[in-house]
Structure 1
Amino acid sequence: MNNDPSQFTLYSGGHRGAEAEFGKLAAKYGVKEVNFTFDGNMLDRDTGMRVLNQEELEKGNISMDIVSTRLGRSFSKGNRIRKVIQSIFHMVNNGYQIFVVGWILPDKTVKGGTGWAVELGKLFNRPVFVYEQDRKAWFSWVDNDWKMATPVIHHKSFAGTGTRNLTDDAAAAMQDLFERSFK
């Protein structure tokens, strides 16, 4: 593959775990990096930090009831989780391909707040890929189901997010994804 990494941009959040790892890989391969955050949020990785103001956060202000309904579970009504959900909107809205690390649940959603990035990706009809940490494999959302896949970053803008509890297998799979995409 003849991808010039400097022409690609990772949109992420810079948090511990999957997001920090996506950022380290972006830096290693020469991919541009934008990490969305908000005032008062602590990041593990602040390269390309983009602090969203209140007006920008509002653009991602999808009702927490919709989030809870879509994911089939309730989330705290707290201000911090709302801002996290709002910042995830900006990651997915800017990244055409969506790469996530976490756990696919029996109802086909993805565990935790990470699941909102997946649901937004589905709603926006974007290519969505999840590295499932228990099954140690990548899956793609195709025809309303998860199918095993070997993803490649081929779009110039992509989002990377996921669990804060990254396994060694997942980190290796992420490394392989970047190697496959930019070698």
Structure 2
Amino acid sequence: MNVYDCTLYHGGLKGAETAFGENAEKYSVGEVIFTFAGHRLNRDRNTVTLSEEELQRGDISMELASRMMNRTYYETEKIRRVLQTIFHMVNRGHQVFVVGTILDDNSVKGGTGWAVELAKLFNRPLHVYDQQRRHWFTWKEGGWQEDSPKISYTTFVGSGTRYLSDDGLAAINQLFADSFGE
């Protein structure tokens, strides 16, 4: 796989997404940041501001999103826009990498969990670095299995917590080093 053929998709927020973007830049991986009007980004290289029509393509009922993630999402415009934006990231990226916390119900904590649920729904290769357990896990056969993943597809998503730990940052750095070499 040629690094110059690869593209990272993310949302440009602080924490994990910024770290994924910085690594993409370091290794000369293409980078596309999806956003919407009025959304503040921490990283803003190669941004694609989704139009109202494009956002609607990623729309989902908040009731369904709440049920899929075993938590309650209320009808707020910003949350809806974030979920719609995540749809575009996962729809474009074939492999999905997330940094966060895997919960007992196999979902992932926070809004990041929506990227995880969409990856499961779209049958994408899915990997989560659990900051609590300090290890990567891959979704296989309906459950999480410890793994040491590599970026294996030319399009991939990098998402995760805004509260990136030192271990989480090291995991992202190592993922890129293992996948693209020092």
Query: For each residue in 1:65-90, what CA deviation from the matched residue of structure 2 results, as whole angstroms up to 9, or x when unmatched?
Result: 11000001001211000000000000
Residue identity in the other structure for 1:90: H
Provide the residue aligned with 2:82 in structure 1: 84
Provide the residue aligned with 1:51 in structure 2: 49
Q: For 1:84-103, list aligned pairs within 5 A.
A: 84-103=82-101
Unaligned runs of 5+ in 2: none
Residue identity in the other structure for 1:144: G
The number of residues matched between the two structures is 181
Query: For each residue in 1:23-45, what CA deviation from the matched residue of structure 2 results, as whole angstroms up to 9, or x when unmatched?
Result: 00000000000000000000000
Identity of aligned residues (%): 51
Q: TM-score, normalised by structure 1?
A: 0.98
Q: For 1:37-48, list aligned pairs within 5 A.
A: 37-48=35-46
CA distance in 2, matches of 1:4, 1:126: 21
Q: TM-score, normalised by structure 2?
A: 0.98
Q: For 1:23-172, list aligned pairs within 5 A.
A: 23-172=21-170
4+ residue runs over 3 A deviation: none
Provide the residue aligned with 1:14 in structure 2: 12
Give RMSD over aligned pairs: 0.6
What secondary structure, in the 3-state scheme, does the structure 1 residue paired with 2:129 have?
strand
Residue identity in the other structure for 1:116: W
Residue identity in the other structure for 2:158: G
